């Protein structure tokens, strides 16, 4: 079973539908016991960093997320869910993130002819043999919607990067923790392959 963390932050239904299309059993919940019992857990999200952290704290989910990741359960952050895994964001100064991974979230720099938010399809540069990208070759296109991007402290955890006015760390992997800045649930067959790969990790893959 895959648990989607319900904390009132956006794109949950589209992620749920994509997983159901793959034949996965999915539960949408903020219940601690259900989250801890899940085989795999996904933190989706769109919106602001500060509001999302406020919701996670309000629902008592911050210690639960740490417990899930500490016990080795495969965990996937999507879009804002990626950003929340890190220490801080320029979008919400003074508000700490989950701090499970090291790095910071920065504003995409203003440049002539560059539209912000970054919205639409962009190619990925794959690196470091990410398990989410098994069976995906070349420079696959995926769908982004964001104004802030990750700069990870350790390049070694980066599994995919993208160029949009700057170098964006678009996907990371560290142990049982995975994250994508883009939306796999909106990224056609490539995105479904990524979600399928994540779903297989909890089954001994």
Instruction: Look up 180 and say whether it is catalytic.
Output: no
Can 54 be counted among the known catalytic residues?
A: no
Q: What is the DSSP string of 140-189?
A: -EEEEEESEEEEES-GGGEEEEEESSSEEEEEEEETTEEEESS-GGGSHH
> Is 112 a known active-site residue?
no
Contact present, 126 and 136 (Cβ < 8 Å): yes
- If DSSP codes are grouped into helix, strand and coil, which group holds residue 37? helix
CA distance 108 to 165: 7
In the set 118, 146, 169, 183, the catalytic residue is 183
- Choose, from 16, 79, 91, 169, the residue flagged as catalytic: 79
- Per the structure block, which two tokens stand in for 126? 């794959």
Q: What are phi and psi of 36, to 5 degrees?
A: -70, -25
| Residue 157 exposure: Cα atoms within 13 Å on the Cβ side | 22
Can you say whether residue 165 is alpha, beta or left, with left for phi > 0 and alpha for psi between -120 and 50 degrees?
Answer: left
Angle CA(43)–CA(44)–CA(49) in degrees, nearest 5? 95
Active-site residue set: 79, 183, 185
């Amino acid at each position: 079973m895959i648990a989607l963390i319900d904390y009132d932050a956006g794109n949950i239904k589209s992620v749920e539908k994509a997983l159901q299309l793959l034949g996965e059993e999915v539960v949408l919940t903020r219940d601690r016991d259900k989250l801890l019992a899940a085989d795999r857990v996904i933190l989706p999200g769109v919106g602001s960093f500060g509001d999302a952290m406020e919701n996670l704290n309000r629902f008592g989910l911050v210690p639960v997320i740490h417990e899930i990741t500490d016990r080795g359960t495969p965990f996937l952050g999507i879009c804002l869910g990626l950003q929340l895994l890190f220490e801080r964001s320029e979008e919400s100064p003074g508000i700490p993130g989950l701090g499970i991974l090291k790095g910071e979230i920065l504003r995409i720099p203003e440049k002539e002819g560059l539209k912000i938010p970054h919205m639409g399809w962009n190619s990925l540069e794959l690196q470091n043999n990410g398990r989410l990208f098994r069976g995906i070759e070349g420079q696959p296109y995926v769908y982004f919607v964001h104004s802030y991007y990750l700069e990870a402290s350790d390049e070694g955890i980066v599994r995919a990067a993208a160029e949009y006015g700057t170098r964006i760390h678009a996907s990371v992997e560290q142990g049982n923790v995975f994250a994508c800045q883009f939306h796999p649930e909106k990224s056609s067959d490539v995105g479904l392959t990524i979600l399928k790969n994540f779903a297989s990790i909890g089954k001994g893959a």
